[in-house]
Structure 1
């Protein structure tokens, strides 16, 4: 193993919907793992929406974040920590990539407090113990972590997957790559920005240029950049072949900068 910091890669549900996209990313991770320790953190909003719709529930979002009513948390955690997590592990396994599926509460890695935003059963992740992840990474496993956590009283909570990835990044002092279905963050001219700081981001959010789910993603990345004192990358999962260039210090997507 080289001296690279670990790399935390966050993926959303969209990559699972597009045929071959997850395989392409995992093929890159197979090669990356010879250079760096990799952790995969995932959401899975579209799978959750589908399963909720089948059960007769509607999906409500506020500020680009999912509202999780108490009666839905069982289904949502089943979709994310169950269906989505195990299908990623199974795909990795089919490519001879030894993966281990986890949720945030496993091994006491991430503690959660209840979100103060009015979002229902939603948690705010706090890094706690890296012991489990360290031992898995040192044994050359690929940890695949779903964004389901628990409160101190044992209640399950849904955590925004970008925030979950940030917390794991802090836990491991890792590099962070937030993969989305676009090539980065767009400026007011509609072009992708090579970099973005908090002043620019706040202006673009105010203008409505950055909106919906991208707002939550950019805010999570800014928080991580400031806490870790390094830039965070927001880029597309549609070009996974560019990821190794990140480790050699070249840019891809939009670099979110610390203040």
Structure 2
């Protein structure tokens, strides 16, 4: 089949990956191999890395506190968290990607003035709320066929570094590029009250499930970020498992995978 018959999908794809996949090297490689096969598709990876951060904080004698599934970031932990996410985790992903001939570039949210941050009002310490600024750097990288790998570390206008929830960071990058968004997690989607995975979910159903405690912990933050993205971008956002990365091509062919979070 000639490549000219393949219609490239116009919008870039932002894929958010979290901590657990980073601890499972074969899973990360499998995902990157799928990305490498997506010809004519511009992809951006946004990552967190909570489990690596927890480990490093524990080694340094710090404790980890969370509120509503979101990490509290005291000022004295910022240097360590930045080093873990923008350093250790980011460079490990870039190195793995480069080892399979994906030309990856490691970035943070404030590189190239992509994203600016304001301090969260949720009493979470040095946690930033991301706002879109300039897509110039990403446009150049994507046009040149690089794979940007972006850590969820941002900065305030005064230059102070802040930790950003990685789901929120992915949503902001998605808005910046008017892209499609895929939130990869270690489960196949969002479960309903009957314990079965939901194929689709809207704001009203989600708030009901959060109230009932069916959606809880980190999944609450993930669903809220996806709902916010669906509203802003006026399209559905997929929450799916990194354990079956081959589903990504199904998503790009217009088939639903995981749980599709719908705009109102």
Rounded Cα–Cα distance in structure 2 between residues aligned with 1:125 and 1:16? 23
Shift of 1:4: 2.4
Tell me what 2:28 maps to: 22
Shift of 1:3: 4.0
Give, in angstroms, the shift of residue 149 of structure 1. Answer: 0.1
Q: 1:35 Cα deviation (Å)?
A: 2.9
Matched, 1:162 2:172: no
Tell me what 2:3 maps to: none
Question: Secondary structure at the residue paired with 1:240?
Answer: coil
TM-score, with length taken from structure 2: 0.97
Paired residues, what number? Answer: 258
Secondary structure, in 3 states, of the residue corresponding to 1:20?
A: helix
| Residues 148-182 of structure 1 deviation map (CA, whole Å, 9 limit, x = unaligned) | 00000000000000000000000000000000000
TM-superposed deviation, 1:13: 1.0
SS at match of 2:196: coil
What TM-score, normalized by structure 1, do the two folds share? 0.99
Selected match of 2:250 from 215, 237, 245: 245
Aligned residue for 2:246, secondary structure, equals helix
93, 101, 104: which one aligns with 2:98: 93
CA–CA separation in structure 2 for the residues paired with 1:159 and 1:173: 20
Structure-2 residue corresponding to 1:61: 66
**What 5-or-longer segments of structure 1 have no aligned partner?**
none
Query: How far apart are the structure 1 equivalents of 2:158 and 2:262?
Result: 36
Shift of 1:18: 1.6
Shift of 1:19: 3.5
RMSD: 0.7
Q: 2: CA distance between counterparts of 1:155 and 1:227?
A: 27
Distance 1:22 1:203 in 2: 34
User: 2 CA distance for matches of 1:153 and 1:104?
Assistant: 15
Equivalent positions of 1:7-18 (< 5 A) are: 7-18=13-24
